[in-house]
């Protein structure tokens, strides 16, 4: 079983010898390995059981470092990097030859991010390579937001998990690419709000559903899914639709007297979308382990992090 600890030297030791480890970030925990070492990247695909057409994000600690891995940085990318890194934003930039094919699945762009997590930034400075890290969950399952989530599912496959506490954002990063005119295009909604992004670079396009050869398989129709059926709608309507089923509820603010209170999880009593985002994935995991048949949830306000919450719920829903 993976050792769980806060020892950066030890984490770096495993990474330097080509192993993969659990790594905290502000969004979700990552499964990290040396991004410049093909074998370490292969190990990540194996541990996650992830198809190799799904490329992996490279994490580093400074914009200068990012420059070592890419051909160029469009002006609007530089503006976004300046404004939001370290933070829950990933940029797709034209890669240079240092980046191995396997990291990008052969694509000409590499996904890069500077995470906002003190321990992890320190770890990134302790190694002389960027860290490849997808979310540390088996492919298609809910992303982990605590070290225990990582340990539960991948603990028997990795030597070490760096304990960084519960993730402060709780949703994966917002992924932004650039079109032929160097204008930003959002490929995945996430922890960085669209409204904030638009304050820096103006109106951005969204290109979220590329279902044949997907640019971002996080954009596959079903992803981030619990093993129980999840239904989204008006919760009282859903409750009356399944009178003979044991129901669990994940709601934004309210509880419902028709269902036992111990099968209900309220994400933010005070109606704060940031707080809701932070506990969403943990709630889905918990519900998945409860003695219930179906999970019911609602649509969240389509603003701020509510957009990314709705996006994840839609993909996690039974269809
Ligand atoms: O917040 C996050 O982004 C977390 C933490 C660990 O940084 N990572 C994460 O990685 O969510 P992952 O692999 O679970 O999701 C990253 C998405 C994938 O859907 C992948 O297809 C897309 O980013 N991606 C990675 N490299 C890409 C590239 N070169 N071009 C297009 N999409 C890419
Ligand atoms: Mg993932």
d(CA 143, CA 97): 30
pLDDT tens figures, 276-303: 999 999 999 999 999 999 999 999 999 9
Ligand 1 contact, 32 CB (< 6 A)? no
Q: Whose CA is nearest to atom 10 of ligand 1?
A: 134
**Which ligand has its closest atom nearest to the C-alpha of 138?**
2
pLDDT at 212: 40
**Which ligand has its closest atom nearest to the C-alpha of 224?**
2
Q: Do 43 and 32 contact (CB within 8 A), yes or no? A: no
pLDDT at 3: 98
Max intra-chain CA distance, the chain: 60
Tell how far CA 305 is from the center of its chain: 13
Residue 159: pLDDT over 90: yes
Q: Do 60 and 114 contact (CB within 8 A), yes or no? A: yes
Average pLDDT over residues 258-264: 97
Ligand 1 contact, 248 CB (< 6 A)? no
Q: pLDDT: is 211 or 266 the higher one?
A: 266
In angstroms, the Cα distances linking 174 to 108, 169, 287 are: 20, 12, 26
Look over the chain and give the mean of its residue pLDDT values, rounded to a whole number. 95
How many CB atoms within 10 Å of residue 59?
28
Distance from the alpha carbon of residue 83 to the mean position of ligand 1, in angstroms = 20
d(CA 145, CA 14): 22
* Measured torsion, CA atoms of residues 187, 130, 151, 143, in degrees rounded to the nearest 10: -10
Distance from the alpha carbon of residue 85 to the mean position of ligand 2, in angstroms = 20
Q: Name, in order, each residue with C-beta under 8 angstroms of 152's C-beta and a sequence gap of 6 or more.
A: none
pLDDT at 319: 83
Atom of ligand 1 at shortest distance to CA of 54? 21
pLDDT at 221: 52
* Measured torsion, CA atoms of residues 254, 259, 263, 267, in degrees rounded to the nearest 10: -10
Reading the block at residue 87, the tokens are 């933070």
pLDDT tens figures, 209-239: 654 444 555 555 556 788 999 999 999 999 9
**What's the pLDDT band for 93 if we cut at 50, 70, 90?**
very high
Q: Do 311 and 193 contact (CB within 8 A), yes or no? A: no
d(CA 85, CA 124): 14
pTM of structure? 0.96
């Amino acid at each position: 079983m993976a050792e769980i600890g806060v020892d950066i030297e030890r984490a770096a030791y495993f990474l330097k010898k080509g192993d993969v480890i659990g790594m905290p970030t502000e969004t979700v925990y990552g499964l990290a390995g040396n991004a410049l070492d093909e074998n370490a990247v292969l190990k990540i695909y194996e541990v996650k059981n992830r198809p190799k057409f799904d490329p992996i994000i490279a994490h580093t600690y400074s914009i200068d470092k990012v420059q070592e891995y890419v051909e160029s940085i469009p002006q609007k990318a530089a503006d976004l990097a300046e404004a939001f890194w370290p933070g829950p934003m990933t940029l797709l930039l034209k890669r240079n030859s240092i980046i191995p094919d396997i990291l990008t699945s052969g694509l000409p762009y590499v996904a890069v991010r500077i995470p906002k997590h003190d321990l992890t930034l320190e770890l990134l400075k302790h190694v002389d390579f960027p860290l490849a890290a997808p979310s540390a969950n088996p492919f298609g399952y809910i992303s982990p937001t605590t070290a225990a989530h990582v340990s539960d599912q991948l603990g028997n496959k990795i030597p070490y998990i760096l304990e960084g506490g519960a993730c402060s954002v709780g949703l994966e990063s917002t992924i932004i690419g650039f079109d032929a005119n160097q204008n930003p295009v959002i490929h995945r909604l996430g922890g960085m709000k669209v409204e904030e992004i638009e304050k820096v670079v103006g109106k951005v396009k969204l290109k979220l559903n590329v279902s044949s050869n997907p640019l971002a398989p996080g954009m596959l129709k079903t992803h981030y899914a619990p093993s129980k059926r999840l239904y989204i709608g008006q919760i009282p309507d859903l409750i009356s639709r399944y009178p003979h089923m044991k129901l669990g509820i994940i709601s934004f603010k309210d509880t419902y007297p028709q269902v036992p209170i111990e099968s209900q999880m309220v994400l933010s009593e005070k109606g704060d979308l940031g707080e809701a985002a932070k506990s969403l994935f943990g709630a889905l995991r918990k519900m998945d382990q409860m003695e219930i048949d179906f999970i019911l949830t609602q649509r969240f306000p389509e603003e701020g992090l509510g957009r990314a919450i709705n996006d994840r719920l839609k993909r996690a829903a039974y269809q």
